[in-house]
Copies of this chain bind each other. A is one copy, B any other.
Amino acid sequence: MVKIPVAILGATGAVGQRLALILAEHPWFEPVYLGASERSEGRPYGDAARWILPDELPARLAGLRVGSVYPEGAREAGLAGGAFPRLAFSALDAAAAAPAEEAWAQAGVLVVSNASVNRMRTDVPLVIPEINPGHLSLLAQQSYPRGGGIVTNPNCSTIGLAMALKPLHDSFGIEACSVTTLQAASGAGYPGVPSLDILDNAIPFIGGEEAKLESEPAKILGSYQGDDKGGSIREAGLSISAACHRVAVRDGHLEAVALRCARVVSRDEILAAWAAFDGGLGALGLPWAPLRPLVYIEAEDRPQPRLDRERERGMAVSLGRLRPCPVLGWKFELLSHNTLRGAAGGTVLLAELCAARGIVA
């Protein structure tokens, strides 16, 4: 099988490094171009990236010369025609992502983005493959040249929540949900959170995070209305309230969730709904799909970031402590790895879904 040539945009950052690690070994994708900010341009990736992961920087990428975050960079790099990226992974910050993602899509490349800037655009799919793969039909609404398009991965704190809510919303209807997060430092990228801000401390604020967490799930849990020629997302009708905190944890977002369902449900019904949820990806053979997207842990003090974040290569969401909530009905805790399931792994899985569906080939 010939691999699909791909670009990684924002390749030197915390999420970009995870992407580089995953894609250097990926059976379907071949990273042929690495884009980053001006500071890195022109330098070999091995020099430009201040590497922060225990796994070593992939040898096959170390010598690649970093270019700009625009498709011109790839053209100037003189890649052989066939090797020009057909898919671009974007781990750019919002400001850089806006023009760059547009440029790649206009250049006929499918952008799979972890950036927030395009997520809520009405013609852009915001997709978790196990939850709303059908939303990819929204791509028909986009008017980019052949092959071009933008699909997005949710915010790192949204993914775990949306996955935990999906089977419950389908079975019981969720009217309201309250979520308080304890988020890891890697969620802010690198250098990100200064150590003087977080040693012996916790911070009850992450810029823009609560708004994302309160708005994205309604789109993800919404339904696609239309046919292959046109359509839109009807958002789910649930209210979400979020309170976001940064804590002294390297990786893994922990979330305390409470919810009110449209009807009375029992603990067993909830556990059964989670247990029955398999994500529906089994037949596609996506390399980064977890065997079990949701794992409920019975121990009274789980999930915990350090113990549970690596489950299924960081692609499973861990659940625990389901118990009655005197205010909303039920409450529980969830954990997902913010730079794997919540970012790099999530975008790779989404790209795999696009490839399996023939959206990129």
Chain A residues proximal to chain B, CB less than 8 Å: 14, 51-54, 176-178, 180, 182, 185-186, 190-205, 214, 239-241, 243, 245, 247-250, 254, 256, 258, 260, 300-310, 320-321, 325-328, 331, 333
Q: 16 additional contacts, CB 8 Å, given A178-B178, A200-B306, A204-B254?
A: A52-B196, A180-B180, A185-B195, A190-B194, A190-B196, A191-B191, A195-B198, A199-B249, A199-B250, A200-B250, A201-B305, A201-B306, A202-B304, A204-B301, A204-B304, A241-B328
Report the bound CA distance from A301 to B202 in whole Å: 10
* B214 and A326 within 8 A (CB): yes
Q: Which residues of B contact A196 (CB under 8 A)?
A: 14, 52, 185-186, 190-193, 250
Main SS of chain A's interface residues?
Answer: mixed
Which residues from chain B contact A310 at a C-beta distance below 8 Å? 54
Chain B residues with CB below 8 A from A321, complex form: 204-205
CB distance from A267 to the nearest CB of B (A): 16
A300-B239 Cα distance, complex, nearest whole Å: 23
Asked whether B54 lies within 8 Å of A306 as measured between CB atoms, the reply is yes
Residues of B within 8 A of A205 (CB): 300-302, 321
Give bound CA distance, A205 to B321, whole Å: 9
Decide yes or no: A333 and B199 within 8 Å by CB, A54-B310, A191-B194, A300-B205 being known contacts: no
Q: In the complex, A18 Cα to B245 Cα: how many Å?
A: 27
Bound Cα distance from A14 to B196, whole angstroms:
10
Residue among B200, B203, B326 making CB contact with A239, cutoff 8 Å: B326
For the complex of A and B, list the 5 residue pairs with the smallest distance between their C-beta atoms, beginning with the closest: A191-B194, A180-B180, A205-B301, A243-B256, A201-B306
List 27 A-B pairs, Cβ < 8 Å: A53-B307, A178-B178, A178-B325, A190-B194, A191-B191, A191-B197, A192-B194, A193-B195, A194-B194, A195-B197, A198-B199, A199-B249, A200-B306, A201-B305, A202-B247, A204-B254, A204-B256, A204-B302, A204-B321, A204-B333, A214-B326, A240-B326, A241-B258, A241-B325, A243-B256, A243-B331, A248-B248
Q: Which residues of B contact A248 (CB under 8 A)?
A: 195, 199-200, 247-249
Q: Which residues of B contact A180 (CB under 8 A)?
A: 180, 243, 256
Complex contacts, A201 vs chain B, CB 8 Å: 249, 304-307
- Report B-chain residues with C-beta under 8 Å of the C-beta of A325: 178, 241
Q: How many angstroms between the C-alpha atoms of A52 and B304 in the bound complex? A: 11
> With A214-B326, A327-B178 known to touch, is A254 a contact of B191 (CB < 8 Å)?
no
Tell me the smallest distance from the CB of A252 to a CB of chain B, in Å. 8
Cβ–Cβ contact A204 & B249, under 8 A: no
Which residue of the partner chain B has the closest CB to A205? B301
User: Of residues A205, A300, A310, which shows the largest number of chain B Cβ atoms within 10 Å of its Cβ?
Assistant: A205
A239 to B53, CA, bound (A): 37
A328-B260 Cα distance, complex, nearest whole Å: 11
